[in-house]
Amino acid sequence: MLAHVQSCEFPRFRPVLRRAAPVRLAMTRPPEALALDALLRRVAQTRDRAAFAALFDHFAPRIKSYLMRLGAPAAQAEDLAQEAMLSLWRKAHLFDPAKASAATWLFTIARNLRIDAIRREKRPELDPQDFQPEAGPDADDAITLASDEVRLREALKDLPPDQAMVIQQSFFADKPHSQIADELGIPLGTVKSRLRLAMVRLKSALGNTP
Amino acid sequence: MSIRHHPDESLLLAYASGTADEATGLIIATHMAFCPQCRQTVTLMEKIGGRLLETLPAAPLSRQALDATLARLDEPVAVAVPPRAPSKDGTPQPLRAYLGGDLSGVRWRRMGPSLAYKPLFRRGGISAKLLRGAPGTEVGAHTHRGMEYTLVLAGGFCDVTGRYGPGDLQVADSHVRHSPIADPGEDCINLAVTTAPLKFENLIQKIAGPLFGF
């Protein structure tokens, strides 16, 4: 039984790890995160359609891929990827490069669209009016944020594979952690401790005290 | 005053990744309104989501997708909602959206002399409700068929697992048997989410529980 679970479940997620590097290498000159942020600012400031098209080419196929991994049929994933990009055009003035990268911002847009359109639920959201904005070292500085992104990228690459896998599945499997544990044939407590260890590593890579 | 009981990484990640159901999302978001530490963790988790999105292999769109989207850029958009009036009593926004106002304006339903409740919503077997207990009220001993999440909004309570004050989140699963007692002094107001009905041990509560949706 265990062997069966492993043969079905592990390989489904391995390709993500295996394919990631070749994809980056295959691209001639991957637009760097900062360049993407700058394109997004141009969309906000001058309603630049060429900048929008460049962002579309980069992000829409990844959003479609994200939604398909979470079970959306290709046609629906494509429609929602276009919706997400429309939403980027309409809300571009709300993008704050000091708070998040373009990729993070689009991830939250795609995540919320999926909850709304596929799960037909609302996402309970925080309101910054409820609390004083955090004055953390990285709260208001786009350059610190960019170096954080680089450190996060490295730290994610360096995660032990068992921790990286539960993090990946948390984002791409749309299953509760109890089910992920069952399918991996490990106790729920092990999944939770892998998540905890991964978060401790990532926080310390970014200099956040736990 | 400081928060002692937080949601674990698994719960925060379910909220950050968008896999949490709406009721669980509501209780985590409301906890976060109290808790800078968990806000910071969820912000980091969203950055991880952004990074994972970047590393996904692209799924190419049909050739006309970009043109179709460009053609829609000038579509009129519904007017943005005006900013919400701030809460008068500090009720966190995630909760206000479901109450339609402040905690102080809630119309409570009585359930015995010292307990009151306000159902918020129910999806499948998962329900979210507010509970209010007068100081010293004891909720009868019970165990759980599913998960019970309890977030203190005002006052406090204690049980075998510890003491809980404003912002603290208690997570009880089928292994926990408890009979929470509200602290003396002020009413204890909690947001409670259950994924299955509770199992009361007292006969009257066994009968009455399901009538009130517990």
Report DSSP state, residue B74: T
In this predicted structure, what is the pLDDT of residue B112? 84
Q: What's the gap in Å between the CA of B150 and the closest CA on chain A?
A: 17
Q: Is residue A106 scored above 50 in pLDDT?
A: yes
Domain-embedded: residue B59: no
- Average the pLDDT over A164-186 and give the result: 94
- Estimate the crossing angle of helix A33-46 against helix A49-69, to 10 degrees: 120
Mean pLDDT of chain A: 82
Domain ranges, residue B134: 103-211
- Average the pLDDT over A1-13 and give the result: 37
Q: Is residue A10 scored above 70 in pLDDT?
A: no
Domain-embedded: residue B15: no
Integer CA distances (angstroms), B145 to B172, B173, B177, B200, B209, in order:
10, 8, 11, 11, 14
- Cα–Cα dist A87/A52, whole Å: 11
Q: What's the gap in Å between the CA of A26 and the closest CA on chain B?
A: 11
Q: Which of B11, B17, B121 to mutate to test the interface with A (most CBs of A within 10 A)?
A: B17
Q: What's the gap in Å between the CA of A70 and the closest CA on chain B?
A: 10
- Estimate the crossing angle of helix A177-184 against helix A188-205, to 10 degrees: 110
For residue A102, count CB atoms less than 10 angstroms from its CB and return exposed for 0-12, middle for 13-18, buried for 19 or more.
Answer: buried
Task: Give the SS3 label for residue B143.
Answer: strand
Contact across the interface for B55 and A134, Cβ inside 8 Å? no
The model's pLDDT over A19-63, given as tens digits with 9 standing for 90+, comes to 433 433 333 334 577 789 999 999 999 999 999 999 999 999 999
Q: How many Cβ atoms are within 10 Å of A172's Cβ, its own excluded?
A: 23
Domain-embedded: residue B154: yes
Contact across the interface for A170 and B13, Cβ inside 8 Å? yes
Asked if the C-beta of A74 comes within 8 angstroms of chain B's C-beta atoms, the answer is: yes
Contact across the interface for B48 and A74, Cβ inside 8 Å? no
- Average the pLDDT over A143-168 and give the result: 90
Smallest CA–CA distance from A20 into chain B, residue: B55
Asked if the C-beta of B208 comes within 8 angstroms of chain A's C-beta atoms, the answer is: no
Asked if the C-beta of A80 comes within 8 angstroms of chain B's C-beta atoms, the answer is: no
Domain-embedded: residue B206: yes
Q: What's the gap in Å between the CA of A97 and the closest CA on chain B?
A: 13
Contact across the interface for A115 and B18, Cβ inside 8 Å? yes
Q: What's the gap in Å between the CA of B202 and the closest CA on chain A?
A: 31
**Domains of chain A, first to last:** 1-28+140-210 (1.10.10.10), 31-123 (1.10.1740.10)
| Token reading at A16 | 């993500």
Q: How would you write the pLDDT of chain B (214 residues) with one tens digit per residue?
A: 589 999 999 999 999 999 999 999 999 999 999 999 999 999 999 999 999 999 999 999 999 999 999 999 999 887 766 667 788 888 999 999 999 899 999 999 998 889 999 999 998 889 999 999 999 998 888 888 889 999 999 999 999 999 999 999 999 988 889 889 999 999 999 999 998 888 887 777 777 666 666 6
- Average the pLDDT over A161-183 and give the result: 95
Q: Which of A23, A127, A175 to mutate to test the interface with B (most CBs of B within 10 A)?
A: A127
Asked if the C-beta of B58 comes within 8 angstroms of chain A's C-beta atoms, the answer is: yes
What number of CA atoms fall less than 13 Å from residue A14's CA on the CB side?
A: 6
How many CB pairs below 8 A link A and B?
196
Count how many domains chain B has: 1
In chain B, DSSP finds a helix count (H) and a strand count (E) of 6, 11
Task: Give the SS3 label for residue B83.
Answer: coil
Asked if the C-beta of A71 comes within 8 angstroms of chain B's C-beta atoms, the answer is: no
Asked if the C-beta of B70 comes within 8 angstroms of chain A's C-beta atoms, the answer is: yes
User: Model confidence at A209, in pLDDT bands (50, 70, 90)?
Assistant: low
Minimal Cβ distance to B9: which of A57, A59, A199: A199
In this predicted structure, what is the pLDDT of residue A19? 40
Domain-embedded: residue B79: no
CATH code where residue B205 lies: 2.60.120.10
Task: Give the SS3 label for residue A108.
Answer: helix
In this predicted structure, what is the pLDDT of residue B78? 78
Domain-embedded: residue B196: yes
Task: Give the SS3 label for residue A141.
Answer: coil
Domain-embedded: residue B63: no
